[in-house]
C-alpha cells in the first residue's frame, strides 16, 4: 500500500488491493507471471481508455467500450479501477505523491513556499522529460482531459481535498507548528493547489504552448510576491 491511510475514501476507489500501478518495492527480481499479466491488462485498459477519451470524449465513452477494446468484461475493468474517472485520477494521484515526497526532501532551511515551488518544479520537469515511464504526451493528455471535462475537474478537485491533509502535515512540520492550532499550514496547502490548478487550467487556454512547469512556476512566483493589487 503506497498511499497513506489518510486518504481513506479515495484509496478505496483507486484500484482494489495493492494493484496500485507502482512497481513492487520489494527486492524480488521477477514479479511472476500472474503479476506481469495483471500489469499488462492494467496498462492495456488505461491505454484503451485514453485512446477512446481522446477520440470520443470522456463522457461519451462507456466502460463497456473500454473493456471490449481490451477483450475483458466490464466487471474486470471495475476490479482494476474504482471507476471510469479513476483511470485518469490514478495518474494524478501519483503526481501528488511525488510532489509531497519531493517537498519532504527539500533542505530544512528553505522557507515553505520556496520549498513547495522547487519541489513542484522538480516533479513537473521529471514528468515532462518522460523519465517517469509515462510519455510526455500522455502527461499532457491527462491535464488536457481534466480541464475539458467538468466531471473530471470535479473529481480531480475532490482528490485534492483528500490529499491536502498530508500536505498540511508536512508544511506544519517544516514551519515547526501544530496544524490543529495554527491555521496557516492548511491555508498554504490549499493555495498551492489552486496555484497549480490555475496554471494548468485557465492560463493554459491563453498560452497552450508554454510548458506546464513554466506556468506553474510563474504562479508560485506571483503568489510569493503577494496577492493584493495594487500591492499593499
CA 30 to chain centre: 28
Q: Give the 3-state secondary structure of residue 26.
A: coil
Query: How far apart are alpha carbons 170 and 189 in whole angstroms?
Result: 9
Q: Is 176 exposed, middle or buried (0-12, 13-18, 19+ CB in 10 A)?
A: exposed
| Single residue of 23, 75, 208, 231 touching DNA by CB under 7 A | 75
Residue 130 zone, left/alpha/beta (φ > 0; ψ -120 to 50; rest):
left
Q: What does the alpha-carbon distance between residue 120 and residue 196 come to, in Å, rounded to a whole number?
A: 9
Using the rule CB under 7 A, which residue among 2, 4, 38, 191 binds DNA? Answer: 38
168 is a contact residue toward a copy of itself (CB under 8 A): yes
When asked if residue 195 is in the footprint of a copy of itself (CB under 8 A), the reply is yes
Q: Which does 112 bind (CB under 5 to 8 A by kind): DNA, a copy of itself, none?
A: a copy of itself
Partner from a copy of itself, DNA, none binding residue 210, C-beta < 5-8 Å depending on class: none
Residues binding a copy of itself (CB under 8 A): 9-10, 111-114, 150-151, 153-155, 157-158, 160-162, 164-165, 168, 175, 180-181, 183-184, 186-188, 190-191, 193-195, 197-198, 201-203, 206, 218-219, 222-224, 226-230, 232
Amino acid at each position: 500500500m503506497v498511499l497513506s491511510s489518510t486518504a481513506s475514501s479515495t484509496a478505496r476507489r483507486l484500484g482494489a488491493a495493492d494493484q496500485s500501478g507502482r512497481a513492487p518495492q520489494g527486492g524480488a527480481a521477477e514479479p511472476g507471471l500472474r503479476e506481469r499479466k495483471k500489469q499488462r491488462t492494467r496498462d492495456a485498459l488505461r491505454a484503451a481508455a485514453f485512446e477512446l477519451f481522446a477520440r470520443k470524449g470522456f463522457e461519451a465513452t462507456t466502460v463497456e467500450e473500454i473493456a471490449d477494446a481490451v477483450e475483458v468484461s466490464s466487471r474486470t475493468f471495475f476490479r482494476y479501477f474504482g471507476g471510469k474517472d479513476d483511470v485518469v485520477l490514478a495518474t494524478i494521484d501519483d503526481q501528488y505523491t511525488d510532489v509531497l515526497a519531493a517537498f519532504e526532501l527539500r533542505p530544512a532551511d528553505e522557507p515553505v513556499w520556496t520549498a513547495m515551488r522547487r519541489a513542484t518544479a522538480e516533479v513537473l520537469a521529471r514528468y515532462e522529460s518522460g523519465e517517469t515511464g509515462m510519455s510526455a504526451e500522455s502527461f499532457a493528455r491527462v491535464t488536457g482531459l481534466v480541464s475539458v471535462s467538468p466531471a473530471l475537474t470535479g473529481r480531480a478537485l475532490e482528490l485534492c481535498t483528500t490529499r491536502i491533509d498530508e500536505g498540511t502535515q508536512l508544511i506544519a512540520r517544516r514551519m515547526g507548528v501544530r496544524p490543529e492550532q495554527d491555521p496557516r499550514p492548511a491555508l498554504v496547502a490549499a493555495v498551492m493547489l489552486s496555484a497549480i490548478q490555475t496554471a494548468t487550467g485557465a492560463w493554459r487556454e491563453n498560452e497552450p504552448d508554454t510548458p506546464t512547469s513554466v506556468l506553474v512556476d510563474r504562479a508560485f512566483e506571483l503568489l510569493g510576491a503577494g496577492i493584493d493589487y495594487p500591492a499593499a
